[in-house]
Chains A and B, each alone.
Chain A
Amino acid sequence: MPMNKPATCRAIDMGRIKEIVMECGGNKWALIPVIQKIQNEFGYIPPEAVTVIAKGLKVFPSQVQGVISFYAQFYTKPRGRQVITVCRGTACHVRGAESVLNFLEDRLGIQEGETTPDFEYTLDTVACIGVCTLAPNVVINKQVYGDMDLEKVQELFKKGE
């Protein structure tokens, strides 16, 4: 895997954020697309972007923050380069998702919802991803890995490193 510089080592390019806001025409309805676009580029919504977005779209900063904090899809902290998501759906749970999660927590030294200090990994959980036939599932970035057990997870790490 290519080794990009982790997100936070880069200073936030506020000029780019302004550009994104302006691309959407300064309309109030563009709030969510703007936030999505910023997250796609920066990996998260830098807190300093909130006032820029608010000013550009003529809404209040508190409203921007309200929308960001409402949706689980938006992050206000930098994420790791690899986002590992463990499915905790019923089928996955029955087939051992809990132990996969515990293993990952031990292996990465972080709890679910956290990011490693080097911004390499973020560990998340999800309620169900809808491929229960492959349970237990782990999603790494957007790639789904089905029928997981501890050994296979180990394997994944080896491949990745």
Chain B
Amino acid sequence: MHTLNVTLNGREVTAEPGMTILELARREGIYIPTICHEPHLAPMGGCPSISSCRICIVEEERSGNLVTSCGAFVTPGMVINTDSQRVLERRRTIIELMLASHPDSCMVCLKGNRCLLRKVASELGIGLSRFQRIPVMSTIIDANPFIRRNLSKCILCAKCIRACQELVIEGAVDYFHRGFAARPATAGDSPLEESECTFCGTCVAMCPTGALIESEPLYRGTAGTSVQSVCPFCGCGCTIRLKVKEGRVVRVIPNNEDPVTRGALCVKGSYGFDFIQSRDRITSPQLKVEGRFEAVSWEEAFNVIAERLNQIKGQYGSNSLAVFGSSKCTNEENYVLQRFARCVLGTNNIDNGSRLTGTPGLMSSDPASGFFGATNSLTALEKADVIFVIGADPTVAAPLAGYTIKRAVRCMDAKLIVVDPRETRLVMFAEIWLRPRVGTDLILINAMAKVIIDEGLHDAEISEETIGFKEFTNSLGAYTTAYVEKATGVPYADIVKTARQYATGGKAAIVYGNGITQYAYGTDAVKALANLALLNGSRSKGTCIYPLQKENNAQGACDMGALPDYLPGYQRVADLRSRRTFEDYWGTVPAAAGLTAFEMIKGAKAGSIKGMYIVGENPAASFPNGRFVSEALGSLDFLVVQDLFMTRTAKLAHVVLPAAAFAEKEGTFTSFDGRVSWLTKAVQPPGQVYPDLDVIIKLAAKMGHAIAYASQRGVREEIGKLVPLYKGIGYGSPEEPQDQARAIDRLKPPLVYRKRPDRMPSFYLTNDNTAPVLTTKEYPFLLLTGSNLYHFAGGTRTSRAPRLRKYSFNAFVEIGEADAERLLITRGDRLKITSATGEVVATARITDTLPEGMVYMPFALAANPVSQLFNIVLDPERMTPLTKCVSVKVERIGAHE
């Protein structure tokens, strides 16, 4: 390769073309101070830095020029001096000029040792500025509980503006005015809570001074240690750094070294960790005696559980027991838990919480892509040319995926197609926005496929590379123009335009979410999407599918076989050979497929399930028809719940075991795109709390069936051996490369992806049995549900994070302007929403994002769960309940409180 010869501090070095002086110096181990420079912010192909702070100046000795090294490219023959007298003098002047308008509040500044201005000043030996002080007044008052702005400390480096516009693409702030009056401001110079700001905290982490800091209830100062971990909320799997001081996690900041998150997080990731230190944590095992819980020792709790479970097993048989694993627990815990269910209890009645949301997505893209879950990484999503988002609002449900899509559109000129009845935040980035009738996604997708085939826009080699193309083509005959238009309500011309854009736009990516999977017959829609991907999915083009998952380890829990019909690695329980592999390690594995989560609950109600062991899930609050679920769980002979908090489900239990939070244990999480990331123990669990893994192993021993693992490492090694997807990715297989072996010792966990099997993909035939939810005279509104940016799942954890709770706690319902006017509803009114199953009360918010006759209410508000409106209606194939849309009646019951 062509290289350049330059002189750097008197040494001859070679540089690659396109390298900046700063990059060269860093490669050569020469330190140049920087403040405004941030590698994650460099837009692809654009200027590497905006050089606004000028502190990284170096001297080019041939010309005598001082140039900013972060933005200047190396040219042949340069003679660079990074610390000449002239350079150092100028740097001092720059810092002193910054300090001349900076308050002397370093002693109590929350930025503490994270402050780059302070760091560079001390490196240059500057205490106070010799210039006349011109203080800048900060007059902003933000009421939000997340971010404090103190612009008297702002040095105008524009990192916050660039983070907002180039990384998370919210655009809440930009420069306002110019010259001395310039400062970053929101539109209308309003407080953050009235702007587009989503409080992701990325700008706070990047701000080099105390101008942007976390709003913390108590002065916490600089944290002592910092460990790497993984965010415990959505399926994006962002790695984070936990800042620990005196045995407490005091702060979470993005992991700047993660090439996928690139230093960004969302509001839950940045400020949702507070639940770890909640006073509501259960700190010792609780045994229910005469209707009241009493704290007991682990020994006593184990004795009771072992005795009761063994007794039920003896009396009613193994299949009267059921285990509900958690999509929030680690891979290792889920792996051991399913072994516990299969080998200790002797039943395949094991399922995990992702049944509620994503499991159909996990399952049915299987034969088409040969892969369970997303078919490519998030990094590849950013490089797609066409992104097709259907039934998902990633900006809320999976913020990192949302950032990625927005970046692809804004920075890489990707074309975005959004299919959603609501005007989500992504719509403003979209080239095409289709608004089909609720529940007609399948017809729309198949109609697109028909257009692509009719116009010959599919891959030429499709017949050779796939199975079943002919049958699939024939099955689309029913999708005539008239039928499609009538059913979906979308003009056919728009569908044609969309299909053409999708098929001819280049490398395509399909992103779908709960809007697809939580419908009855959602599985068919997922199959239709897989077909759509196949049509233009030749290897060279590589169309990717991304099923967004709600929970941090939904992917991992399924990979680890916490499923009634699959062993770890999606090896069918019914298959003798797969069973044999595991039986060599574990002993007998039962052959009959078990019950899914909802079948267990129905079984409990019917009396066929007698005992249940629930780990880290709260079905009584998060499942539809909570009353029915509570009754069913309440009627069990014996219920064990292992959780962080005394949840609604835990209250029904006979024994409640405390659990360790993500920061208190080790293990791995698998993100929805297959990244396996490592948790590091940051703090000790409170009271007598142990990680779930230890609890399950000890309980198994108590029940007379030892599950022998030496440690975490033992579990990992077995997973590495028995789960093909996880072979050789730092799970201790013999041939693992050096760096992965190091990963086990947590020196520096590398970014690892689980593997994908290679298979011949085939088309699906879909049943066009969509059952659209219809409004009636009694229930004239369609209520859509979705995720909530500030709360998560059932809200068990986020409602105990004080800052999230403070900002957003009351249940709200969005209603369109026209409907609100008709019903005389104004913002803040209390509304009663009634469905055939139940009712909830919520505060009204008026919006222009909804069509007439539709209301929207997010999940995850524990106080008044919207899930109460739904009855248990299951997808026939994957047994996921319909919780996306229901017909309701809306009544105003009171004015603003």
A residues apposed to B, CB below 8 Å? 47, 50-51, 54-55, 58-66, 69-70
| Other A-B pairs, 14, CB within 8 Å; known A60-B170, A62-B171 | A47-B188, A51-B187, A54-B187, A58-B429, A60-B172, A60-B174, A60-B187, A60-B196, A61-B171, A62-B173, A63-B165, A65-B187, A66-B175, A69-B175
Beyond A69-B177, A70-B178, whether A62 also contacts B187 by CB under 8 A is yes
CB distance from B394 to the nearest CB of A (A): 18
A70: nearest residue on chain B (CB-CB)? Answer: B178
- Determine whether the beta carbon of B429 is less than 8 Å from that of A65: no
- Determine whether the beta carbon of B428 is less than 8 Å from that of A50: no
Per the bound structure, the CA–CA distance linking A59 and B196 in Å amounts to 13
Per the bound structure, the CA–CA distance linking A55 and B195 in Å amounts to 15
- Is B888 part of the contact surface with A, judged by Cβ < 8 Å? no
Q: Give 13 A-B contacts (CB < 8 Å), ordered by A residue.
A: A54-B187, A58-B428, A60-B165, A61-B171, A61-B188, A62-B172, A62-B174, A62-B185, A65-B188, A66-B176, A69-B177, A70-B175, A70-B177
Q: Which one, B165, B175, B187, B429, contacts A61 given CB within 8 A?
A: B187
- Determine whether the beta carbon of A65 is less than 8 Å from that of B171: no
B residues apposed to A, CB below 8 Å? 165, 170-178, 185-188, 195-196, 428-429
Contacts of B428 in A (CB 8 A): 55, 58
Per the bound structure, the CA–CA distance linking A62 and B158 in Å amounts to 14
Per the bound structure, the CA–CA distance linking A54 and B188 in Å amounts to 13
A66: nearest residue on chain B (CB-CB)? Answer: B174
Contacts of A63 in B (CB 8 A): 165, 171, 174
Contacts of A64 in B (CB 8 A): 187
- Determine whether the beta carbon of A50 is less than 8 Å from that of B187: yes
Contacts of A58 in B (CB 8 A): 428-429
CB distance from A50 to the nearest CB of B (A): 6
Contacts of A55 in B (CB 8 A): 428
Contacts of B176 in A (CB 8 A): 65-66, 69
Number of interchain pairs (Cβ within 8 Å) = 48
Per the bound structure, the CA–CA distance linking A73 and B186 in Å amounts to 21
6 pairs of A and B residues whose beta carbons are closest in the complex: A60-B171, A61-B187, A66-B174, A62-B174, A62-B187, A66-B175
Contacts of A61 in B (CB 8 A): 171, 187-188, 196
Per the bound structure, the CA–CA distance linking A61 and B189 in Å amounts to 11
CB distance from A139 to the nearest CB of B (A): 23
Contacts of B171 in A (CB 8 A): 59-63
Per the bound structure, the CA–CA distance linking A71 and B174 in Å amounts to 15
CB distance from A92 to the nearest CB of B (A): 23
Contacts of B185 in A (CB 8 A): 62, 65
CB distance from B190 to the nearest CB of A (A): 10
Per the bound structure, the CA–CA distance linking A63 and B165 in Å amounts to 9
Beyond A60-B165, A62-B171, A62-B173, whether A50 also contacts B188 by CB under 8 A is yes
Per the bound structure, the CA–CA distance linking A70 and B174 in Å amounts to 11
Contacts of B429 in A (CB 8 A): 58
Contacts of A47 in B (CB 8 A): 188
A62: nearest residue on chain B (CB-CB)? Answer: B174
Contacts of B165 in A (CB 8 A): 60, 63
A63: nearest residue on chain B (CB-CB)? Answer: B174
B187: nearest residue on chain A (CB-CB)? Answer: A61
Per the bound structure, the CA–CA distance linking A55 and B170 in Å amounts to 13
A67: nearest residue on chain B (CB-CB)? Answer: B174
Contacts of B178 in A (CB 8 A): 69-70
Contacts of A70 in B (CB 8 A): 175, 177-178
B178: nearest residue on chain A (CB-CB)? Answer: A70
Contacts of A69 in B (CB 8 A): 175-178
Contacts of B187 in A (CB 8 A): 50-51, 54, 60-62, 64-65
CB distance from A71 to the nearest CB of B (A): 9
Contacts of B174 in A (CB 8 A): 60, 62-63, 65-66
CB distance from B477 to the nearest CB of A (A): 38
CB distance from B52 to the nearest CB of A (A): 15
Per the bound structure, the CA–CA distance linking A139 and B173 in Å amounts to 37
A47: nearest residue on chain B (CB-CB)? Answer: B188
Contacts of A50 in B (CB 8 A): 187-188
CB distance from B142 to the nearest CB of A (A): 15
A71: nearest residue on chain B (CB-CB)? Answer: B178
B172: nearest residue on chain A (CB-CB)? Answer: A62
Per the bound structure, the CA–CA distance linking A161 and B833 in Å amounts to 64
CB distance from A73 to the nearest CB of B (A): 13
B430: nearest residue on chain A (CB-CB)? Answer: A58
B186: nearest residue on chain A (CB-CB)? Answer: A62
Per the bound structure, the CA–CA distance linking A62 and B196 in Å amounts to 9
Per the bound structure, the CA–CA distance linking A63 and B174 in Å amounts to 6
Contacts of B177 in A (CB 8 A): 69-70
Contacts of B175 in A (CB 8 A): 66, 69-70
Per the bound structure, the CA–CA distance linking A54 and B176 in Å amounts to 16
Per the bound structure, the CA–CA distance linking A69 and B186 in Å amounts to 12
Contacts of A54 in B (CB 8 A): 187
Per the bound structure, the CA–CA distance linking A54 and B185 in Å amounts to 16
Contacts of A51 in B (CB 8 A): 187
Per the bound structure, the CA–CA distance linking A61 and B174 in Å amounts to 9
Contacts of A60 in B (CB 8 A): 165, 170-172, 174, 187, 196
Per the bound structure, the CA–CA distance linking A90 and B170 in Å amounts to 46
Per the bound structure, the CA–CA distance linking A59 and B171 in Å amounts to 8
Per the bound structure, the CA–CA distance linking A66 and B162 in Å amounts to 13
A69: nearest residue on chain B (CB-CB)? Answer: B177
CB distance from B366 to the nearest CB of A (A): 38
Contacts of A65 in B (CB 8 A): 174, 176, 185, 187-188
Per the bound structure, the CA–CA distance linking A55 and B289 in Å amounts to 61
B197: nearest residue on chain A (CB-CB)? Answer: A62
